[in-house]
Chain A
Amino acid sequence: MDAAVTVTDLVVHRGARRVLHEVGCTVPPGRVTGLLGPSGSGKSTLMRAIVGVQQVRSGTVTVLGRPAGSAELRSRVGYVTQAPSVYADLTVRENARYFAALYGRGATEADAAIADVGLADAAGQLVQDLSGGQRGRASLACALVGEPELLVLDEPTVGLDPVLRVELWDRFHALAAAGTTLIVSSHVMDEAARCDRLLLLREGRLLSDSTPAELRSHTGSDDLEAAFLTLVRENEEVGASGQGREHRSEERARSGAPRGSEQVSRA
């Protein structure tokens, strides 16, 4: 099956800084793809490029067979930013109904989306009176309401209690089973295990494009956090010795542990 998203040699600059370095990856359709990496690694920038709101220096992003940001994609791609982007001075229901109208949907779909994120009881409340986690879910409902083919979610589970987090991940998998493609970013490695596919990003470079199982077997570690650490160290050593990053460095004995562990602890 064709990839839902294909990113080729993507380079993004913000100001004078290069935040994505020739990133290339594919996202399979009907699956949950996790985009993982510490904060500042370029996850949000990559997501913005996929939904077509990021200025790009070079490279291409193809989404559902079209160039990212094409007018035709706007009804087929849903995007939830990291900070809840809903109107704080409207109720949950008013927000959902407005976004429903933008996607050509009605009040029924809006109410269903609110129920899907577990906010049915708070539907009449102003968003500004909700907790942070509830606001995030209201924001999610406003994307679900359009029933998009591709759903791009930037850290949707931050600040949620563990029960809700599990519920949301179940919902993501239910959506994927129904054919929706999801890209979900997170900086929490225990969420990596819930993804069908993993993109590991660090300092604007793609460290790995694999499945959780492949990552475990490649690094010989059951724990994904430790696996990520191993990948980071491999990469650090290559960088430190001045070699090209293409070189695999398992054979290198010198350890970059102090610097590596300090940086991963931010993850």
Chain B
Amino acid sequence: MTAALSPTLTTATAGRVLRQLRHDHRTVAMLLVLPSALLGLLYLVWSDVPVAPGQPSTFDRVGLTMLGIFPFVVMFLVTSIAMLRERTSGTLERLLTTPLSRPDLLLGYGAAFGLAAAVQALVTVTVATTLYDLDVAGPLALVVLIAVVDAVLGVALGLLASAFARSEFQAVQFMPVVVLPQFFLCGLLVPREQLPGWLQAVSDVLPLTYAVEALQEVGASTEATGTMWVDVGVVAGAALLALGLAAATLRRRTN
């Protein structure tokens, strides 16, 4: 049984999560600076590699994809640890005795970290296009939008994964389990058409595949394409599904 959603309580929870974040200056600094710094390293990795005429540089292709993968990975980790802390500190049990509904709690987390991801994406996209000359054909606002949707997907999967983790050690190890297979199969390392057939099928049901495709669409077309919107819809749908599953794993009564 799930209580009705309350925008007031969702907002209060998102505000509380952001206030927790604000007190943790180092985490804020890392959230804002780390993706840009890592992207800079990638830029340098390919800086001396000659580019075939008429081809996009490897950095343009990989760097753009990374703008979607960073927020996904970072928010997955941050959220699964944050939720585990709610469980172990007893605050989760306490929240479940208050009028706050489980969807309110999870959406509050999604909203807070989604907002943090938006700021992160603004910084990263700005740095990438000015300092590293990242070439994006489409509007940068769409890149930020996709990054935020990816972050919300990371939040949702992080909330879900934390239900299966009994300790921080376990929670951290869910990161490679959830992230790396999606990264390997998303088409960045090997074009999806060249994957073995059954791996292509697996890749078809992994949400990060669609996130990467959406970014590639923005990178190649000056305007938003239908494919891109479908991709964004798929990622958002996967995030909602994961949030729903996470709500189902939050038990009010425990042993």
CA distance A13 to B93 in the complex (A): 19
Minimum C-beta distance from B2 to chain A (A): 9
Let me know if A85 and B90 touch, CB within 8 A: yes
CB-CB under 8 A for A81 and B16, given A52-B253, A55-B254, A69-B252: no
- Chain A interface size, under 10 / 10 to 19 / 20 to 34 / 35 or more: 20 to 34
Minimum C-beta distance from A17 to chain B (A): 11
CA distance A103 to B97 in the complex (A): 11
CB-CB under 8 A for A79 and B94, given A101-B8, A101-B9: yes
Q: Which residues of A contact B16 (CB under 8 A)?
A: 87, 90, 94, 98
CB-CB under 8 A for A90 and B23, given A74-B99, A102-B100: yes
Is B130 an interface residue, CB under 8 A from the partner? no
Q: Which residues of B contact A88 (CB under 8 A)?
A: 89
CA distance A126 to B20 in the complex (A): 10
Is A58 an interface residue, CB under 8 A from the partner? no
CA distance A15 to B254 in the complex (A): 11
Among candidates B20, B93, B254, residue contacting A81 with C-beta atoms closer than 8 Å: B93
Q: Report A137-178 CB contacts with B as 1/0, cut-off 8 Å.
A: 000001000100000000000000000000000000000000
Size of the chain B interface, CB-CB below 8 angstroms: 27
Minimum C-beta distance from A162 to chain B (A): 26
Among candidates A87, A90, A102, residue contacting B98 with C-beta atoms closer than 8 Å: A102
Is A255 an interface residue, CB under 8 A from the partner? no
Is B48 an interface residue, CB under 8 A from the partner? no
Most A Cβ at <10 Å: residue of B3, B9, B253: B253
Let me know if A52 and B97 touch, CB within 8 A: yes
Minimum C-beta distance from B97 to chain A (A): 5
Chain A minimum-CB-distance residue to B86: A87
Is B12 an interface residue, CB under 8 A from the partner? yes
Minimum C-beta distance from B59 to chain A (A): 38
Let me know if A71 and B97 touch, CB within 8 A: no
Let me know if A83 and B97 touch, CB within 8 A: no
Let me know if A81 and B99 touch, CB within 8 A: no
CA distance A104 to B146 in the complex (A): 35
Let me know if B91 and A85 touch, CB within 8 A: yes
CA distance A94 to B17 in the complex (A): 11
Minimum C-beta distance from B249 to chain A (A): 15
Chain B minimum-CB-distance residue to A146: B98
Q: List residues 1-47 of chain B with CB under 8 A from any CB of chain A.
A: 1, 3, 8-9, 12-13, 15-16, 19-20, 23-24
Is B194 an interface residue, CB under 8 A from the partner? no
CB-CB under 8 A for A103 and B98, given A53-B93, A89-B20, A90-B16: yes
Let me know if A69 and B1 touch, CB within 8 A: no
Among candidates A71, A94, A103, A146, residue contacting B19 with C-beta atoms closer than 8 Å: A94
Q: Which residues of A contact B3 (CB under 8 A)?
A: 71
Chain B minimum-CB-distance residue to A101: B12
Let me know if A85 and B12 touch, CB within 8 A: no
Let me know if A53 and B96 touch, CB within 8 A: yes
Minimum C-beta distance from B9 to chain A (A): 6
Let me know if B253 and A90 touch, CB within 8 A: no
CA distance A146 to B255 in the complex (A): 26
CA distance A194 to B19 in the complex (A): 39
Q: Which residues of B contact A13 (CB under 8 A)?
A: 255
Let me know if A55 and B253 touch, CB within 8 A: yes
CA distance A104 to B100 in the complex (A): 10
Is A51 an interface residue, CB under 8 A from the partner? yes
Q: Which residues of A contact B93 (CB under 8 A)?
A: 53, 81, 85
5 contacts between A and B (CB under 8 A): A69-B253, A83-B89, A89-B24, A98-B16, A101-B12
Residues of A within 8 A of B (CB): 13-15, 51-56, 69, 71, 74-75, 77, 79, 81, 83-90, 94, 98-99, 101-104, 126, 142, 146
Given A15-B255, A101-B8, A102-B9, output 7 extra A-B contacts at Cβ < 8 Å. A51-B97, A54-B255, A71-B3, A74-B98, A85-B91, A99-B98, A146-B98
Sorted nearest first, the 9 A-B pairs with minimum C-beta distance are: A85-B90, A101-B12, A98-B16, A85-B94, A102-B98, A79-B97, A81-B90, A74-B99, A55-B253
